[in-house]
Amino acid sequence: MVQTNSQKMAQAAFASVRRRASPGVPEKYASFARSFPSLVHACGLAQAVTFANAKGHAEYLEDLAAVLNKIGHAEAASVDSLEKATREYPVLAYVRLNRNALQAAGWLKRYVEAVAPE
């Protein structure tokens, strides 16, 4: 069966959040997952990734990179390579990565909201 990119992202995001939620999703992770899509909208993926990395949200970025890798962004398979890609990509490739990262962040947010208490 052929899966859409959205289905692949949903499965990878669910696996990532479920792995983080073994005793419960950490509040720092859950809070950042809820706010990351807005951060990307406001300032773009490059600044959002750099900010997240600087503020110690490496776990979230690892999950975001895993979801992006699942849909074919092999250049974004790790936090370092994701950050490098956001800085060095040509404009069209960056726009595509930004759009896909926003979708991936949306899936992570949905699953965090489903499993994390308010």
pLDDT in tens, 64-75: 999 999 998 888
| pTM for the whole structure | 0.92
Listed by start position, the domains of the chain span 5-115
> pLDDT tens for residues 25-62?
788 999 999 999 999 999 999 999 999 999 999 999 99
Question: What HEC string does 16-58 produce?
Answer: HHHHHCCCCCCHHHHHHHHHHHHHHHHHCHHHHHHHHHHCCCH
* pLDDT over 90 (residue 14): yes
Architecture of the structural domain at 5-115 = Orthogonal Bundle (1.10)
* pLDDT over 80 (residue 117): no
Q: What is the percent of the chain with per-residue pLDDT over 90, rounded to a whole number?
A: 80
| pLDDT at residue 66, as a whole number | 95
| pLDDT at residue 21, as a whole number | 81
* pLDDT over 90 (residue 82): yes
**Short-list 2, 115, 16, CA closest to 69:** 16
